[in-house]
Amino acid sequence: MAGIKQLAGQTIWYGASSVIPRLLNYLLTPYLTLKLNAASYGDMTLVYALISFLTILYTYGLETSYFRFSQKPEYSRDLYNTVNVSIISSTLLLTVILWTFAQPLAEFTNIPEHPEYIKMALLIVSFEALAAIPFARLRQEGRPRKYAFVKFAAVLVNIGVLYFCLSVAPRLAAADPNSIFTLTGSISSTAYVFLANIVMCVVVLILLWKEIRNFRWKFNFTLWKEIIIYTAPLLIVGFGGMINETMDRLMLGWWYHPANGNVKDEIGTYGAVYKLAILITVFIQAFRMGAEPFFFKQASGENPQRTYARVMKFFVITVCLMFLFVSLYLDIWKYFIQNEKMWSGLKVVPVLLVANIFLGIYYNLSIWYKISNKTGAGAAITIGGAMITILVNYFFIARYGYVASAWATFLCYFGMTVACYIWGQKVYPVPYAWKKLLAYIVIVILLFLFHQFVIHIWDNFIFNLVTATLIFLAFTWFVLKVEKREFQKLPVIGRYIR
């Protein structure tokens, strides 16, 4: 229980560093959907999809490798220097090469008229890659407060720069046509989104200067070879994961041709409603931040499988509650998207929420191949998931658009979860209470469908909120009764469970 308390404490800090900045960025969604039309929002969505892929290429699993090899005392002195030399060198090389191919990359991303967006994206990815290992060191050393401070400060800078560029500078230009701010009118609003991100990345590097300056240009080639052997399959895992998470936006641009309307509008709509799954995705991200180093440390302890099983139980309960909190209150959440034309995409939000539940479960299950050095298994599972994503989108996206993309996401993560569980139980058995956990997931889905049936009979805003709240409280009470003994052992919460 002490280990779980430690994980919970760190997850709270990592959660704060992920949830608060993402919520602040999420609060920008109404602002951006006012400042950007659907097509421009679609351009932004496409570029950030490309950034996700490039981030995997630039970091190539070195963060996970850093956690893995930090458990080996013989490498502790050279590890930080070696991985930093590796990532700095590769970042410089990749940026120079890709910069020369900005136009082909823009065409690949379906924004051929904006190669400058690609160059800005390369700067963002480069700076983020340089910060990756210093951030990993903070996590490994158990310093979530510093981690949270840097993340929180950076996002405030991002929001401030973005607001100045999109709202303040145009007003200053209108007040004085001869001022320097008149030049801002020649720059697209979408470009300002990326500019604010670049400034944020620079601020992050400044705030991490203490960790960066401790790095020395020393390179242990023997250690590096071991790291690359370990991390090579993780690169495949990362690429497969990005195909599953973001490739659907690019595929919409390639294969979907709406009879009426612009495909960029559809991409923008899908990108906007995808953000409504933010609570689950942010929690998963926060959990991963604390869980990855925690799981590696627990592996050398007594009966780590029991700890992993208990962590899984609390995780599934939490994401089930989050599913209900978002799906039952979509009538409220939708107002974060100010462009009402985008509300047509709300129908896929529950599908994406369930998909992300299984993604989170998969991250929990995946510890078996990381601690047993069988990262090739993770690569195989992720490739299988990527094939599901590509095939479902290829065959159905032309007819169903982003609805096919949402279902492809669900089928992909569900398939990966099943495969990872079956394979993992053969190699590294963990006593997961899978029947109970699956029952919780099925129950919340049925409760959501029941709510949809009820509000279909009488569609009234107040009635919808009341029934949603009653359903949410009923499931919470049910879980507390079933898991009473488990919750009584938890700090703080346990005092109130009788």
Sort 279 into a burial class: Cβ within 10 Å, 0-12 / 13-18 / 19+.
buried
pLDDT digits (tens, 9 = 90+) for 148-163: 888 888 888 988 888 8
pLDDT digits (tens, 9 = 90+) for 442-462: 999 999 999 999 988 888 889
Is 80 exceeded by the pLDDT of residue 3? no
pLDDT at 446: 96
Break the chain into its structural domains and give their ranges. 2-496
For tokens 């993560």, the residue is 413
Q: What are the tokens at 407? A: 């279902």
Please enumerate in sequence order all residues whose Cβ is within 8 A of that of 82, keeping only pairs 6 or more positions apart, or say none. 218, 219, 220, 223, 224, 227
Q: pLDDT confidence of 410, banded at 50, 70, 90?
A: very high
113-149 per-residue burial string, b: 16 or more CB within 10 A, e: under 16: ebbebbbbbbbbbbbbbbbbbbbbbbbbebebebbbb
Q: Can you tell me the distance from the alpha carbon of 81 to that of 85, in angstroms, rounded to the nearest whole number?
A: 6
Is 80 exceeded by the pLDDT of residue 43? yes
pLDDT at 1: 47
Average pLDDT value for residue range 433-438: 90
pLDDT digits (tens, 9 = 90+) for 470-487: 999 999 999 888 887 776
User: For residues 269 and 341, is the Cβ–Cβ distance under 8 A?
Assistant: yes
Q: Can you tell me the distance from the alpha carbon of 480 to that of 489, in angstroms, rounded to the nearest whole number?
A: 12
Residue (of 134, 129, 64) closest to 91 by Cα position: 129
Q: pLDDT confidence of 372, banded at 50, 70, 90?
A: confident
Please enumerate in sequence order all residues whose Cβ is within 8 A of that of 139, keeping only pairs 6 or more positions apart, or say none. 14, 67, 147, 289, 290, 292, 293
For tokens 């919520």, the residue is 23
pLDDT digits (tens, 9 = 90+) for 284-333: 766 665 555 566 666 556 677 887 888 888 889 888 998 999 899 988 88
pLDDT at 495: 60
Please enumerate in sequence order all residues whose Cβ is within 8 A of that of 11, keeping only pairs 6 or more positions apart, or say none. 286, 287, 289, 290, 291
Q: What are the tokens at 270? A: 């899908």
User: For residues 451 and 328, is the Cβ–Cβ distance under 8 A?
Assistant: yes
Q: pTM to 2 decimals? A: 0.70
Range of weakest confidence among 176-180, 260-264, 417-421, 446-450: 176-180
pLDDT digits (tens, 9 = 90+) for 6-41: 555 555 555 555 555 555 656 676 677 667 776 787
Q: Can you tell me the distance from the alpha carbon of 247 to that of 252, in angstroms, rounded to the nearest whole number?
A: 9
Average pLDDT value for residue range 182-188: 62
